[in-house]
Amino acid sequence: MSANPFLEPSFEIRWSQLRPELIEPAIAAALARAQSAIDAIAARDLAALTYDHTFLALERATEELNVAWGKVAHLQSVADSPPVREAHNRMLPPVSAFYAKIPLNAELWRRLKTFAGSPAAAELRGIHRRFLEETVADFRQAGADLSPEQRARLEALQSELAQLTQKYAENVLDATNAWQLIVEDEASLRGVPAHARAAARQNAGRKGYGSSEKPAWRFTLQAPSQEAVMTYAEDENLRRWMWSAIVAVGSLEPYANAGLIQRILARRAEKAALLGRPHFADLVLERRMAKNGARALSFIEDLQLRAQAAFARECRELEEFKAQQTVGPAGPLKAWEVGYWAERFRQARYAFDEEALRPYFPMERVIAGMFELAHRVFGLRIAERPTSCRSLLADDSTRAAEGSRASTLLQDGQRGDPVEVWYPEVKFYDMHDARGRHVGSFYADWHPREAKRGGAWMNYLITGGPQPDGTRAPHLGVICGNLTPPVDGRPALLTHREAETIFHEFGHLLHHLLGEVEIKSLNGVNVAWDFVELPSQIMENWCWERESLDLFARHHETGAPIPAELFAKMKAAKNFRAACAIMRQVQLAKMDLLLHLRTGEFLEGDIEARARAVVADAMIPTEPPARTIVKRFTHVFADPVGYASGYYSYKWAEVLDADAFTRFRREGLFNPQVGAEFVEHILSRGNSAEPMELYRRFMGREPDLNALLTRCGLRTSPD
């Protein structure tokens, strides 16, 4: 093995030695070794193939590269710097090209296919059978079986799709940025919150509008700016201008997307046909839990049907509320009134300030409570290890300031030698299961820094699990976020949503760390897209139950639990206009699926009119009618695949987590037996079987979407 630390397989990663200038040589060496391992498989004697030197050899071929590239990508996420970014961006094209070329390697495919059809392959069982089937499906889906001419056409389609979707995304971005609203009369900003006004004034100043004597406010179509106006501005003209601009994004030259949509849909349909599928939705979904477009569509239509009555009632209630407030006749709202009146209605019904919950979510307590929950439910013991930061990645001034904190981490009965981390406040934990096995370890990096990307995520650095010799190696993962930091010696006080985020990422982490899958590429979160959020989202449920909240949500000064009245408001506010929220997602998911199932209907004529016709019954009735987002639907059109045919997954995953959680609600929130079954059938299994099969083993049946409707208050639970 090389002395390059990026290529060291060690569990204890020496972050301070992962210097940017070592990235390129490490990745280049790993790429070369991976390529020669693949060449060796492709050169095997066709008459003497074994499972070990075909499929398993392919799995091993990329392992070193996977781990090394994982470290590079991780560094770029948590300790970005110009040299790290430069090295990452320089190596990204060869790395992507390497992975993309594997299924198109004809000699390699011939060996895999030959072995897959042999009597020895028919003998494979369990995880090895699954691995063989999944690999063959990966190759077929990527076009391995096509003739050279067809493959050339597929490659041409891919590159055309990349360009068309790139252009669509640019049009949305450019049209969004091309519009502004300059307000010079402060009176017309009545209702707009102070922080949004301040941001608009600062924005105006930066663009050269207004002065200290004659101030101006600049609003844009970026989400925080437009939402502040559409939700709060009392001035109807302001909202009407803003609405007209929002719905024009992607509609007007030079940023018009209608033609691009039709070309993207046509290319996707051709790609599906080339690969022998009736339409693009089936191509995308055949290996997801939904299996095909028709099933995903019937799921969404079923949800629509069941939410329909509550949706109609919520629309009517809002119309009545407005009529009563304005002393006018009830009738459909104008398209630019919905957000505004919904917010007034919410305030009238629930005077609930989310900030009031913060004192009950001190971060340390939330995390300690979550570990206690993991102990009660899953039998896990999680212990913090002392850390040290020698990293060159944290800049000098921060290290000097944080140095004292780093050294004080070595205290309080923590075991073992310090573990090196990339930044002083990063924590490290060992996780043991009920049998006392060290199942894995993880880093936690929770607060924002300039050199760290936004959002929250889980990632894995090492995949352990069962080894061919019968032992088991621990897994190594990382959970990150950008949560409220501690200020002036006060503990970090989180919002309820932030507490949920910690639980969510911890769920993804458990999926990796508890994995008992011998084939690494099938471990943990390497599962179908519409299944991967089950372990994470189910954890969020414990943030909404009185009994579990009392474990970790305690006032940071008094230790008191959340008062009953505040808890009731928090629950009620969550379900306010729940059917409208569901119907919004139904509308988008249905439009996405129909565009890719009945593509022919959308290739001519006015795309907006045709898209609207198929989802109008899922839209809030307004005057003038609201528009669909088809011309600015970046989830679906900004990437060759992205969320195309997959938007339904948001709701699908919610159904899974709400439904699976009913077992804990019924049999006990801390029931260790249910917890053990969840580990046994879901968390430890990765992609070792069909997700629906895993789900059935845990629930004893297929998912039932009533659980979601019950959870958001649209249905009374029978139990």
**Binding residues for Zn ion, per CB under 5 A?**
536
**535: closest CA among 560, 557, 515?**
515
Shortest CB 659 distance to Zn ion, Å:
18
355 is catalytic: no
- What is the CA 209 to chain-centroid distance, rounded? 38
CB of 654 to Zn ion, least distance (A): 12
* Cα-Cα end-to-end distance for the chain: 60
Measure the CA–CA gap between 719 and 716, rounded to whole angstroms: 9
**Choosing from 505, 533, 540, 608, which is the catalytic residue?**
505
Q: Which residue is nearest to Zn ion (CB)?
A: 536
Closest distance to Zn ion from the beta carbon of 302 (Å): 24
Closest approach of Cβ 642 to Zn ion, in Å?
16
Residue with tokens 């490290």: 428
For 709, residues 6+ apart whose C-beta sits below 8 A from its C-beta are 306, 307, 715
CA distances 124 to 117, 127, 130, 205, 470, Å, are 12, 8, 9, 68, 18
Q: How far is the CB of 713 from Zn ion (least distance, A)?
A: 24
Q: Which CB, 300 or 534, lies closer to Zn ion? A: 534
CA-CA distance, 229 to 234, in Å (whole number)?
9
| Torsion angles phi and psi, residue 518, rounded to 5 | -70, -30
| Shortest Å distance, C-beta 36 to Zn ion | 36
- Residue closer to Zn ion by CB (options 526, 536) is 536
DSSP per-residue letters across 265-287: HHHHHHHHHHTT-SSHHHHHHTT
Closer by beta carbon to Zn ion, 336 or else 661 = 661
- Residue 369 CB contacts under 8 Å (≥ 6 apart), including other chains: 551, 552, 553
Three-state DSSP at 518 gives coil
Burial zone of 218 (CB within 10 Å; 0-12 exposed, 13-18 middle, 19+ buried): buried
Closer residue to Zn ion (CB): 506 or 698: 506
The C-alpha angle 606, 611, 612, rounded to 5 degrees, equals 100
Q: Write down the least CB distance from residue 533 to Zn ion, Å.
A: 5
Residue 319 vs 505, nearer CB to Zn ion: 505
Phi, psi (5° rounding) for residue 333? Answer: -75, 160
**DSSP3 helix / strand / coil % (the chain, rounded to 5):** 60, 5, 35
In the bound state with Zn ion, the residue whose beta carbon lies nearer, of 536 and 548, is 536
Which three-class secondary structure string do you get for 632-687? HCHHHHCCCCCCCCCCCHHHHHHHHHHHHHHHHHHHCCCCHHHHHHHHHHHHCCCC
Which residue numbers are catalytic? Answer: 505
